[in-house]
Amino acid sequence: MPEGPEIRRVADRLARQLVGQSLESVWFAFPELAGEGASLEGHRVLSVESWGKALLIHFDNDRVLYSHNQLYGVWKLHRAANPPSTRRSLRVRLQAGGRVASLYSASDVSLWSAGQLEQHPFLSRLGPDLMSHGVTANDIEERLTSSRFRRRALGGLLLDQGFYAGIGNYLRSEMLFFAGLGPQLRPMDLESIQRSRLARVMRDVIHQAYREAGVTNQPGWIAHEKRQGLSRGHWRFAVFAREGLPCHACGEQIVRRMVTSRRLYYCPSCQAV
């Protein structure tokens, strides 16, 4: 499933095409939304934002279109006269300026008024988005030491969307590695300097993944792998999906284990236990 950085990149692509445009036609496949398309036609798109793995399109009539791609959903951008060739099921179609944003295969789509969005059953459970909500390293440190989260093992906490939204499995492994922390440690177990480093790493890693389309490895380590002719699958990550391969930093073999029923990769030498 795409994680926060990937959804943010989709939001940015949609924004470049839609923001400021008046909608010429709107179509929904869902029976409960079938009559709603006309209420959006002629209205402008104000913004497109991501919140974790959800996407929100804001219109100038105080409406908000919520969508969650889940496992199979995908947005495709195309000219109105040239729809994509695909076997996927079309769920949403937004046309503006002769171009179309089409959502395929997603099943979680709804239309809300902006004032009621906080009542959304999924969004109301989410913590802040590390990229969309202006989260600082100090904010993260404070949240780590709060009574709600300080006793939680980091391996589970980082995947809890109520902690921070948008962190998925590959980001969890990469963040813990670059912070030098084992998954069983809790925020309350850490020294102040360790919590500060984790907070900085969380912001840095997710923003790098956004800028570099999912790449979280260090430039020097990437260059070394590329010189050996290795593919993106080998050099994209520092530890994730690298079980049995040598750690870039120390040469120790990367280990895989299951944490909260999800695979986690770490270096037993570099990450404190």
**At 197, phi and psi to the nearest 5?**
-65, -45
* Average pLDDT of the residues of the chain: 96
**Per-position DSSP letters for 153-213, written without gaps between them:** -HHHHTT-TTTSBT--HHHHHHHHHHHTB-TT--GGGS-HHHHHHHHHHHHHHHHHHHHTT
pLDDT confidence tier of residue 265, bands split at 50, 70 and 90: very high
- Spell out the residues 6+ positions from residue 118 whose beta carbon is closer than 8 angstroms to its own: 124
pLDDT at position 1 over 70: no
The proportion of the chain whose per-residue pLDDT surpasses 70, expressed as a percent, equals 99
Catalytic residue selected from 148, 211, 226, 262: 262
Do residues 156 and 184 make contact, with C-beta atoms less than 8 angstroms apart? Answer: no
Active site residue 87: no
Give the separation between CA 217 and CA 15, rounded to whole angstroms: 28
Beta bridge partners of 223: none
The helix/strand/coil state of 77 is: strand
Closest CA to 172 of 150, 157, 162: 157
Per residue in 135-155, pLDDT tens? 999 999 999 999 999 999 999
pLDDT at position 273 over 70: no
pLDDT at position 259 over 80: yes
Give the separation between CA 259 and CA 256, rounded to whole angstroms: 9
pLDDT confidence tier of residue 98, bands split at 50, 70 and 90: very high
Q: Tokens representing 123?
A: 């969004």
SS3 content of the chain, % helix, strand, coil (to 5): 35, 25, 40
**Per-position DSSP letters for 15-67, written without gaps between them:** HHHHBTPBPSEEEE-SGGGTTTHHHHTTPBEEEEEEETTEEEEEETTSEEEEE
Give the separation between CA 36 and CA 102, rounded to whole angstroms: 16
pLDDT at 43: 98
Over range 204-218, report the average pLDDT.
97
Domain formed by 137-266, architecture: Orthogonal Bundle (1.10)
Per residue in 112-122, pLDDT tens? 999 999 899 99
pLDDT at 70: 85
Domain formed by 4-123, architecture: Alpha-Beta Barrel (3.20)
Active site residue 243: no
Per residue in 241-252, pLDDT tens? 999 999 999 999
Q: Where are the domains of the chain?
A: 4-123, 137-266
pTM tops 0.75, yes or no:
yes
Active site residue 2: yes
DSSP 252: P
pLDDT at 34: 86
Give the separation between CA 121 and CA 126, rounded to whole angstroms: 10
Catalytic residue selected from 8, 53, 172, 236: 53
Catalytic residue selected from 3, 6, 49, 174: 3
Active site residue 99: no
